[in-house]
Structure 1
């Protein structure tokens, strides 16, 4: 399945190097928060259980319940999966992920695999692949046509974590977004786990990050045009100006920022004439979160998106830069070489929709 900005239908004008996120879902496996009656499982599937007691919020280990021997059919079939290994810990089996760009053997420390292919027309295709978080990033560029394609591939396993969904569905909302009709629809959406552990954890390779990609896509689709434009402009500012200072200010961080802003403010303020003010509101909110190095994700608020990230130097530089932007207002754009691209995008966002049909 396609994920990220492409699936959300948001196009960033003039961005030639945006990644396309592709999620490969292992549909023959499913993970439950609480292990259900085994008689309900479909034949041929693997059913596993979350183990969240000893991990930080937003992550889980994946336990094979009741499996005592590596020779059992259930265990041996899982062991054949290319990018998932079994690990025995305290007498139980857990799924261990591995990052690899060759034949899904262990690739560590963001190693890179590169290859150049010569086409019949004389053009050269440069192919590069490296691990980045839970994903394999693939870059492909041709020497003559200068065509550049970037893909992020990530393996995901479906999961049901009822406590997360219930907390999200029932939390207090003062401004009616998302409304009860939408939350009622989305409460049945499954989540996913992706193969990356909490940075610095001694059980890093046994931990998997929990995400709610389907719910987030539907929430973005529910935003009005001004909210979509605010999201796009904040992503552009983050990519052009903030991310070179701190790589942790990602598109995902900005998406979470926008979802919180929409939930915590009255719908009446999201009008075209307020667009630049809304962008400044977003930057002010981001500044405060960076200063505290504390930012709860939208779907799992107890998960701090900045945990283990943003060094003291990055924090100081980011706060200084954001304070400078906030003091100058939208005119801060004139200081940066990306001005022409951003101005063109801003002018167009004022006059045409950015949400793909």
Structure 2
């Protein structure tokens, strides 16, 4: 093996020990899928279906590493630019998608009929009638009209709304919630899969599967549009997740590295450098350059270099096409001239530094150093931290199972403490992180006071470990 291949293999091993190994990634993916199933089953009479997106659903983010992203899809609401296909459905609210005069990736939603019962009042209060008597739904008004009870979470309080998101927080963990509509568009309007080779990385059958996945209308307009209050963004979140889950483990690690570099190096320069941009970078790179070479751990550095070079070229041209809708430029109106120059400069320096580019990310640098200097200690800590995160996933499952409509905060807290799995797992975590002596016996009556008295240190220690 060459020195570069050896360093790539070391980097891959370090990422495994940082909590990004295949087993932990699959554990997170499976847990958040299960949490959605439980939530939707418990709220089957509610107005929305929940779908976890972002790093949690991908399995690429540790528990406290980023916010949890939830998409809440309103039931019995359909948007389509071929609404005649849904004329036979009586109990639905139907919007026509009009995107001929909107920026790529955005649309206006014209109301054709409102027979669905879900969020009927919120939709009605968000309608805008033009001079022709046609009714369109305002994305801004709809976001403002969403009631907190629609997507209730015990223990969380509402935060200031940001764009389409209605975030909540419990003081330690934030959840970004976006309410959206199902959006059905013909395949040719997506440029998928007709403009891509039959031999691309995700395979012809998968591309056909993707073309059948519904899109979603998200309540946010283009910031550069005069009519942004009427515009909705067309999102292909489910299809993008499908593609990310199709990546090989080495490709997925490069995506995680791009996110880490963005958070520590690029975002301080320009706040518009987001994980979503990196998702599109890795999808384009894998689509254009995929070969068995990309799926080997010893070549991770080469794939990372290719990805950084692609991002640099996009910034030079000020164009990063959206992978699912290439006509939409993700950099349009986002990066100022001064920021653009600084980003290009630092990416150029990274590329010129060769394999040492990875040391721009301090977390990775520390992990690689630990593997070389204290391998047994680091291995033990890695296993300990992964076990803690798995136990947190168990707690999350318990919370989801017991979180049912109509239950007050006080009742919910009591139900949790009465649940044997929740109680024993919580005590085990408290013992493992040093907040409870292994020899201490805690009665059921004492557990509530113990949890309250250690809450601050509990979240502080877990956050430091898993962020």
Name the TM-score class by shorter chain: 0.7 to 0.9
Q: CA deviation at 1:199?
A: 0.9
CA distance in 2, matches of 1:104, 1:166: 29
Would the alpha carbon gap of residues 128 and 243 (structure 1) be closer, same or farther in structure 2, given more than 3 Å must change? farther
Given candidates 317, 320, 342, the residue that maps to 1:292 is: 317
Offset from partner CA, 1:78-133 (integer Å, 9 cap, x none): 7611696001124211010226888649xxxxxxxxxxxxxxxxxxx995612223
For each residue in 1:165-217, what CA deviation from the matched residue of structure 2 results, as whole angstroms up to 9, or x when unmatched? 66211213274322111112222111101011001211111000001111111
* Residues 280 and 53 (structure 1), Cα distance of their counterparts in 2 relative to 1, 3 Å cut: same
Looking at structure 1, the residues matched to 219 and 143 of structure 2 have their Cα atoms a distance apart, in angstroms, of 14
Q: Distance in 1 between matches of 2:370 and 2:349?
A: 23
Shift of 1:290: 1.3
Q: Deviations over 1:304-342 (max 9, x none)?
A: 0011110011101111111111111242454x5x51455
What are the equivalent positions in structure 2 for 1:91-110 lying under 5 Å apart?
A: 91=132, 92-98=134-140, 104=146
Once the 2 structures are TM-superposed, how far is the Cα of residue 59 of structure 1 from its aligned partner?
0.3
Shift in Å, 1:345 = 7.6
Indicate conservation of the 8 Å contact 1:28/1:46, yes or no: yes
Q: The residue matched to 1:238 in structure 2 has which SS?
A: helix
The aligned counterpart of 1:272 is: 297
Q: CA deviation at 1:162?
A: 0.8
SS at match of 1:193: strand
| Whole-angstrom CA distance in 2 between matches of 1:88 and 1:102 | 18
User: Which structure has greater helix proportion?
Assistant: 2
SS of structure 1 residue aligned to 2:223? coil
Contact 1:61 1:94 in 2 (8 A): yes
Residues in 2 aligned to 1:27 and 1:79: alpha-carbon distance in whole angstroms: 11
Distance 1:172 1:202, change over 3 A: same
Q: Trace 1:237-276 onto structure 2 (pairs within 5 A).
A: 237-270=261-294, 271-276=296-301
3-state DSSP class of the match of 1:136? coil
- Deviations for 1:191-247, whole angstroms, at most 9, x for unmatched residues? 101011001211111000001111111111111111111111111111111011111
2:304 equivalent to 1:304: no
| Counterpart for residue 342 of structure 2 | 317
**Is 1:29 aligned to residue 77 of structure 2?**
yes
Q: Is the 8 A contact 1:83 1:99 kept in 2?
A: no
Decide whether the 8 Å contact of 1:48 with 1:62 is kept in 2. yes
Q: CA-to-partner distance for each residue in 1:47-87, whole Å, 9 max, x for gaps?
A: 1100111110000000123x7xxxxx759997611696001
Report SS of the residue matched to 2:167.
Answer: strand
Aligned CA distance change for structure 1 residues 276 and 189 (closer, same or farther; 3 Å):
same
Question: For 2:255 and 2:232, how far apart are their aligned partners in 1?
Answer: 28
C-alpha displacement at 1:140, in angstroms?
2.9
- Is 1:131–2:164 an aligned residue pair? no
Cα distance in 2 between the residues matched to 1:218 and 1:342 = 31
Distance 2:353 2:125 in 1: 50
Q: How many pairs does the alignment contain? A: 317
Structure 1 counterpart of 2:414: none
- Hey, what does 2:105 align to over in structure 1? 58
Unpaired segments ≥5 residues, structure 2 = 1-50, 148-154, 372-378, 394-467
Distance 1:346 1:290, change over 3 A: farther
| Change in 2 beyond 3 A, CA 1:246/1:280 | same
The answer to whether the 8 Å contact 2:190/2:325 transfers is no
Paired with 2:117 and 2:369, the residues of 1 have a C-alpha distance of: 55
Corresponding position: 1:150 with 2:178: no
Residues 38 and 160 of structure 1: CA distance in aligned 2, closer, same or farther (over 3 Å): closer
Unaligned runs of 5+ in 1: 68-72, 106-124, 142-147
Matched-pair contact (CA < 8 Å) for 2:98–2:108: yes
**TM-score (norm. length: structure 2):** 0.62
Alpha-carbon deviation of 1:18? 0.4
- Whether the aligned pair in 2 keeps the contact of 1:100 and 1:131 (CA below 8 Å) is no
User: Equivalent residue for 1:16?
Assistant: 64
